[in-house]
Amino acid sequence: MINPHGSTKLNPLYVYDAAERERLLDEAESLPSAVISSAAASNAVMLGGGYFNPLTGFMDRADALAVCETMTTTTGVFFPVPILNMLSDIDNIEGADRVALRDPNREGNPVLAVMDVNAVETVSDGDLEAMISKIYRTSDTEHPGVKAFLEQGRYILSGPLQVLNFSYFATDFPETFRTAVQIREEIQSRGWDRVVAFQTRNPMHRAHEELCKIAMEAVNADGVVIHMLLGKLKPGDIPAPVRDAAIRKMVELYFEPNTAMITGYGFDMLYAGPREAVLHAVFRQNMGANYFIIGRDHAGVGDYYGAFDAQTIFDDEVPAGALEIEIFRADHTAYSKILNKVVMMRDAPDHTKEDFVLLSGTKVREMLGNGIAPPPEFSRPEVAKILVDYYSGLD
């Protein structure tokens, strides 16, 4: 199996020993504590699950700025975005060398992790601008990622941590949420040697389905890990339970047995386009995938990024050898009226625009909102029904 990023063995920060976990929870009750942001909480969950290997905790200001500028930490570890715990208020923890981090997303704000404090640093306006411009390639506060980043606060709390639970992800999505450790174990138990990973924050239509199958065939893979984001999205995106149901129905009916694994991860979407695509590749390598599909406007939003910027960043900015995982570069996909199947449009150079069934995401959402199922060339009818039922319930 492919090595994790930056090491030969995965380093999850979750405390697996039950007795030690209970001891830490007891200790946490006597420690200074802070309710952290949702973004920091999801970073802790990802660190706990081994997805952010080889990191051992939250980055400090110097590492954050170095990663934004060069995609490497001050000690030379390749990482595409800073993994931070930013706070707006440090009154409760000022001067503490060990603190309890409390979950903002669960009632009562239970302890999520215990952290040794290496430093508490203030970020300047210049620091924020430098980080935002590199991570998001825009300073526009209408960008949902920029907006969320600026809302987190001006203090960076850095240091190693011990993660004590996986927040609401493990309890709300018990059939879907999996750590990188668990996915590696399941890949081995299925006997897969060559694995493709597919990222989604949306329901999967026929183009997505066929893209997974095209990629598997092209690289001779044993299976695909369909890996859906379970964290916070921007307003208007379809909630995780609906996406989960739609994807499960599609796999049940349209994939061969033991060729698709449905999983999810606990992270809040950044909408950072190219930089987030590289982050996605890092944690797909950590979960054991050999190939990662990157298509049009991967992790993008609005018109902030070019259609294939998330692919070209691997050529232009990611150093050679930084990652072992390979990128499967997908083109626009559409249903061919001539071939009666979904194809990547680059593979049908003899087609005209009229030879394809082309529907924009806006058009599909409009149809669903009006109780109209997209055509079968675009969406499997069983998947469309789940989405129509969801949209009809919004009235």
In 3D space, the residue among 161, 183, 226, 173 whose CA is nearest the CA of residue 24 turns out to be: 161
Choose the catalytic residue: 21, 202, 248, 365. Answer: 202
pLDDT on residue 361: 65
Strand partners, 292: 197, 327
Q: Would you call 202 a catalytic residue per the annotation?
A: yes
* Share in percent of the chain as helix, strand, coil (round to 5): 35, 20, 45
Question: Which residue, chain included where needed, has tokens 């030969």?
Answer: 8
Residue 345: other Cβ atoms inside 10 A: 16
Residue 44, judged by CB atoms within 10 A of its CB (0-12, 13-18, 19+), counts as buried
pLDDT band at 52 (very low <50, low <70, confident <90, very high): very high
SS3 364: helix
Q: What is the pLDDT of residue 395?
A: 63
- Within a 13 Å sphere around the CA of 390, how many CA atoms are in the beta-carbon half? 21
Strand partners, 159: 58
**How far apart are the C-alpha atoms of 262 and 334, rounded to whole Å?**
23
Interatomic CA distance for residues 115 and 266, integer angstroms: 20
Query: How would you classify the pairing of strands 291-294 and 326-329?
Result: parallel
| pLDDT value of residue 359 | 66
Q: What is the pLDDT of residue 215?
A: 96
360 pLDDT above the threshold of 80: no
CA dihedral 331, 334, 336, 339 (to 10 degrees): 60
243 touches 176 (CB < 8 A)? no
pLDDT of amino acid 182: 98
Q: What is the mean pLDDT of the chain?
A: 94
pLDDT at 327 over 80: yes
CA gap 128, 357 in Å, rounded: 43
Active site residue 201: yes
Going by their DSSP bridges, the two strands 155-163 and 57-58 should be labelled as antiparallel
Contact 300/144 with Cβ under 8 angstroms? Answer: no
The whole-number pLDDT of residue 239 equals: 85
- pLDDT, one tens digit per residue, over 233-260 is 777 778 888 999 999 999 999 999 999 9
Residue 202 phi, psi dihedral angles, 5° rounding: -125, 165
Which one of the listed residues 102, 178, 184, 201 is annotated catalytic? Answer: 201
Burial status of residue 167 (CB atoms within 10 A of its CB: 0-12, 13-18, 19 or more): buried
Q: Strands of 223-229's sheet, edge to edge?
A: 260-265, 223-229, 195-200, 291-294, 326-329
Q: What percent of the chain clears pLDDT 90, i.e. is strictly above it?
A: 81
For the chain, domains (ranges, CATH) are 18-170 (3.10.400.10), 174-392 (3.40.50.620)
